[in-house]
């Protein structure tokens, strides 16, 4: 029941704690301005309510009034927001001793299990990240292209039936993302024999992460109970796969992430457990599933929204390979327009709208000769949806214009401006995989079909979701392209 509480009700609960905000502020005269007035509700309770209702609009409003650095009260905490490249630089350059992720993302332990990423010691976390990096090396990415291609062709044959028809693109791309992720990250054995079980368990894990989980990870709710049971089942299931692989090491190509995690040896000599291997696989599904399927959906909807761009995409595909040619990693690397369309969709509609850390020290932010000090203990956030739509940074910022990244303009190269995949030491470790996955799927889709949106307008952005995607009608009419 608690799972269904809307964000604004949770905001209401947070209000009870609000009076803690009136405690004295560290940082003295150098602290960023503390914003206490909201048009949503006059008085001290307005800001948390406004944040829960519409964080992106609120951050934009405060930016227009106060500039690139300001603090908002959030329940018993304060969050200092940094907007614009000069301010975002501090966020991306800080190390974990200054701005820490662990404290703010620690609730993910309830989904990933103990000892994983935000719950791991620093050295173990390093080993876990090294193994993700090694699992995403170019040799592996090259092997993923044909796996994703095979899944996509089979899926299109089964679901894009006949020469024309209608399909819910968001739903289709969501299904295709988990099929292709499972093939690449878990391996052929899991994809072929256990996909149904894994995807059902993932579904329960996914629904066990609600706004309430952030504040109260183990609240006694039905969704949390199902999440905990799904995680236990997932560990059992992967323990069997791990045992089989250890007994028959030559049965897989050794290039999937499961294999990479099985090879982890921690620096203190301890071995990784089956539960931790499973936890890392769950973490990757969480990092990549919604983000990638949302990005492929927006990218294709934006392409379909502009006939001239869709024609250029067809042209690019036809210049690089024939309709039925097997795709390779090199083909994908040559798809510059497709790449820029994906980047641009991410600029306009980033699925992660707030990246957050905790200030572990008083942190100076120097811009234009002025220094502000973020007080130790503040949460610190950047908002990709606001920062990547600043007119002073990106020309005509609300327009879908993939050419802004092309030769001569290259707006993504303005330091600390583009953050579709975050930035700095914690930038996305799966971004090369995401490009390979989305571009492979869309290359096959656009070589085979023209698509046209059915609804009169582009879908809105669903800012209420934990990972922000399209809201409303994502159906398209597809039509087989003529040879
Ligand atoms: C289009 C798809 C994706 C988008 C937009 C995206 C976006 C991001 C962003 C913004 C961050 C930074 C979070 C922060 O600073 O707090 C991040 C981190 C991360 N992403 Fe992705 N991601 C995508 C796909 C993936 C995939 C497919 C994987 C793995 C299979 C992945 C693995 C990770 C990991 C492990 C981190 C944590 C890095 C760290 O903390 O050092 N992501 N991602």
Which residue from 445, 443, 419, 413 is spatially nearest to 431, judged by alpha carbons? Answer: 419
Q: In terms of Cα–Cα distance, which of 394, 382, 469 is closest to 427?
A: 382
Ligand 1 near 393 CB (within 6 A): no
- Residue 71 falls within a domain, yes or no? yes
Is residue 11 a part of any domain in this protein? yes
Residue 85 near residue 415 (C-beta atoms within 8 A): yes
* Ligand 1 centroid, distance to 130 Cα (angstroms): 15
Does 6 map to a domain?
yes
Give the tens place of pLDDT for each residue, 291-338.
999 999 999 999 999 999 999 999 999 999 987 889 999 999 999 999
Residue 470 within any structural domain of the chain = no
Residue 419 counted as domain residue: no
> Cβ(430) to ligand 1 under 6 A?
yes
Question: Is 24 inside a domain boundary?
Answer: yes
In a domain, 163, yes or no: no
Residue from 287, 300, 338, 461 to probe ligand 1 pocket by mutation (most atoms less than 8 Å from CB): 287
Confidence of residue 8 (pLDDT cuts 50, 70, 90): low
Q: Please give the Cα distance from 433 to 439 (Å, whole number).
A: 10
Give the 3-state secondary structure of residue 387: helix
From 300, 382, 430, the mutation candidate for ligand 1 (largest count of ligand atoms within 8 A of CB) is 430
Q: How far is the CA of 291 from the centre of ligand 1 (A)?
A: 8
Q: How far apart are CA 232 and CA 201, in angstroms?
A: 10
Which one is predicted more confidently, 453 or 3? 453
> How many angstroms separate the alpha carbon of residue 257 from the centre of ligand 1?
15
Number of domains in the chain: 1
Please indicate, yes or no, if residue 25 is contained in any of the structural domains: yes
Closest atom of ligand 1 to CA, residue 283: 35
Q: Helix or strand or coil: residue 460?
A: strand
User: Under a CB-based contact definition with an 8 Å cutoff, are residues 257 and 218 in contact?
Assistant: no
Atom 41 of ligand 1, nearest CA residue: 426
Give the number of other Cβ atoms within 10 Å of residue 393's Cβ: 16
Residue 380 CA to ligand 1 center (angstroms) comes to: 18
Q: Residue 382: give its domain's CATH number.
A: 3.30.43.20
Domain that holds residue 375: 1-107+352-387
Q: Please, what is the average pLDDT of the chain?
A: 93
Across residues 381-399, what is the average pLDDT?
97
- Say whether pLDDT at 21 is over 80: no
- pTM as predicted: 0.93
């Amino acid at each position: 029941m608690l799972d269904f509480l809307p964000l604004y009700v949770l905001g209401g609960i947070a209000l009870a704690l609000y009076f803690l905000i009136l405690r004295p502020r560290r940082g003295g005269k150098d602290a960023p301005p503390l914003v206490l007035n909201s048009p949503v509700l006059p008085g001290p309770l307005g800001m948390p309510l406004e944040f829960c209702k519409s964080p992106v609009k609120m951050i934009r409003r405060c930016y227009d009034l106060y500039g690139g650095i300001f603090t908002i009260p959030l329940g018993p905490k304060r969050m200092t927001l940094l907007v614009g490249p000069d301010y975002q630089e501090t966020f991306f350059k800080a190390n974990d001793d200054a701005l820490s992720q662990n404290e703010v993302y620690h609730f993910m332990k309830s989904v990933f299990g103990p000892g994983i990423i935000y719950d791991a010691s620093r050295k173990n976390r390093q080993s876990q990240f090294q193994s993700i990096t090694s699992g995403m090396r170019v040799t592996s990415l090259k092997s993923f292209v044909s796996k994703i291609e095979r899944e996509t062709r089979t899926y299109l044959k089964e679901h894009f039936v006949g020469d024309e028809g209608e399909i819910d693109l968001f739903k289709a791309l969501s299904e295709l993302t988990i099929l292709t992720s499972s093939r690449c990250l878990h391996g052929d054995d899991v994809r072929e024999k256990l996909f149904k079980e894994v995807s059902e368990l993932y579904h329960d894990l996914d629904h066990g992460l609600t706004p309430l989980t952030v504040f109260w990870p183990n609240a006694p709710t039905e969704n949390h109970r199902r999440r905990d049971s799904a995680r236990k089942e997932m560990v059992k299931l992967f323990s069997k796969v791990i045992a089989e692989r250890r007994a028959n090491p030559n049965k897989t190509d050794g290039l999937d992430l499961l294999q990479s995690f099985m090879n982890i040896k921690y620096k203190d000599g301890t071995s990784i457990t089956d539960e931790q291997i499973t936890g890392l696989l769950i973490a990757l599904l969480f990092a990549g599933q919604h983000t990638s399927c949302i990005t492929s959906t927006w990218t294709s909807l934006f392409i379909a929204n502009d006939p001239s761009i869709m024609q250029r995409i067809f042209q690019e595909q036809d210049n690089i390979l024939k309709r039925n040619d097997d795709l390779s990693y090199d083909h994908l690397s040559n798809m510059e327009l497709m790449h820029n369309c994906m980047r641009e969709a991410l600029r306009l509609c980033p699925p992660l709208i707030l990246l957050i850390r905790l200030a572990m020290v008083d942190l100076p932010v120097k811009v234009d000769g002025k220094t502000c000090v973020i007080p130790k203990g503040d949460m610190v956030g950047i908002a990709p949806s606001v920062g990547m739509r600043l007119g002073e940074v990106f020309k005509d910022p609300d327009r879908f214009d993939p050419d802004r990244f092309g030769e001569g303009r290259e707006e993504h190269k303005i330091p600390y401006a583009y953050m579709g995949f975050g930035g700095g030491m914690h930038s996305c470790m799966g971004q090369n995989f995401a490009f390979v996955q989305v571009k492979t799927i869309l290359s096959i889709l656009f070589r085979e079909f023209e698509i046209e949106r059915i609804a009169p307008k582009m879908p809105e952005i669903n800012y209420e979701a934990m990972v922000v995607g399209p809201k409303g009608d994502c159906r398209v009419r597809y039509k087989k392209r003529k040879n």
